[in-house]
Amino acid sequence: MQISSRFTIALHILTAIETFKDEYHVTSEFLAGSVQVNPVIIRNILLQLKTAGIVQIPRGRASGSITLLKKPEEISLLDVYKAIEPLEHDTLFAFHKNPNPKCPVGKNIHNILDERLLSVQKAMEDKLAAMKLSDVLDDLQKLM
């Protein structure tokens, strides 16, 4: 299993928005230069972050910079994850659709794994919820 790079790109974007807010006009093109991806990818992720209430995107180039709508200590990595990687049916692990009900493994595998996989998902979500964008920014400041 691998989470797409869109999650780490979103964290990069949010960190850059906060880091450069007072020095630069932060646009999708500016962010694309920092992430080194196509501005369209940045715009798509920004739209997801906007829909989740995490960023504000001004209309038109001259309108201003992209900004955070919340303080960095109010934005958890789980908030970002849920905005970028929406879960189907709120479950991290997808099950194959038609295990053989006549097979002892096929008819029982779902029941055997459900609680285990749910506990893995909960552990990941709890860890992400405890980590804040402000933690990322603090670590960045130590390295600059």
* 45-91 per-position pLDDT tens digit: 999 999 999 999 988 766 779 999 999 999 999 999 999 987 777 77
Instruction: Read off the CATH number of the domain in which 39 is found.
Output: 1.10.10.10
* 127-144 per-position pLDDT tens digit: 999 999 999 999 999 998
Tokens 């646009």 locate to: 27
pLDDT given at position 134: 98
Alpha carbon 121 to its chain centroid, in Å, reads 15
For residues 14 and 84, give the distance between their C-alpha atoms in angstroms, rounded to a whole number: 12
CA atoms within 13 A on the CB side of 25: 7
pLDDT given at position 55: 97
Quote the Cα angle for 143-127-9, to 5°.
55
For residues 64 and 3, give the distance between their C-alpha atoms in angstroms, rounded to a whole number: 32
Total domain count for the chain? 1
**Residue-range definition of the domain harbouring residue 56:** 5-143
Q: Are the C-beta atoms of 133 and 72 separated by less than 8 Å? A: yes
Phi, psi of 67, deg, nearest 5: -135, 160
Reply yes or no on whether the pLDDT at 1 is more than 70. Answer: no
Packing angle of the helix pair 28-35, 39-51 (nearest 10 deg): 110
Phi, psi of 76, deg, nearest 5: -90, 160
